[in-house]
Amino acid sequence: LIRRGRRRTHSSPMDLLAIALALLAFAALLALIEGFDRV
């Protein structure tokens, strides 16, 4: 089922990496709010 879904949507494991990278970037920015609050 996963293979069929992947073929249909052209998705790849790299999509998970992309989403993880985006979440990481925004998490870092959220953490920065607290950092700026302590400046």
Partner 1 sequence: MTARGWIQLTAFLGLIVAITPLLGGYMARVFGGERVLLQRALGPAERALYRLLRVDPRQEHDWKGYARATLAFSLVSWLVLYAILRLQGSLPFNPAGFGAAPWDVTFNTASSFVTNTNWQYYAGETTLSNFSQMAGLAVQNFASAAVGIAVVVAVIRGFAARSASTLGNFWVDLTRCILYVLLPIAFVAALVLVSQGVVQSLAAAHDGIVVGPVASQEAIKELGTNGGGFFNVNSAMPFENPSGFTNLVEMLLIICIPAALTATFGRMVGNRRQGWAIFAGMFALFAVAVAIVYAAESHGSPAQHLAGIGGGNFEGKETRFGIASSSLFAAITTVTSCGAVNAAMESLTGIGGSIPMANMMTGEVVFGGVGSGLASMLLFVLLAVFIAGLMVGRTPEYLGKKIGAREVKLTMIGALAVPLLVLFTTAVAIATRAGKVSLFAHGPQGFSETLYAYTSQANNNGSAFAGYTGFVQPNAPGNDGAFGITFADLLGSVAMLAGRFLPILAVLAVAGALAGRRTAPAGPGTMRTDTPTFVVLLIGTILLVALLTFVPALLLGPVVQGLTDRMF
Residues near partner 1 (CB under 8 A) = 8-12, 14-15, 17-19, 21-23, 25-26, 29-30, 32-34, 36-37, 39
CB of 22 to partner 1, least distance (A): 5
Alpha helices in the chain (DSSP H): 2-9, 13-37
Separation CA 1–CA 9 (nearest Å): 12
Separation CA 10–CA 38 (nearest Å): 45
CB of 37 to partner 1, least distance (A): 6
CB of 4 to partner 1, least distance (A): 12
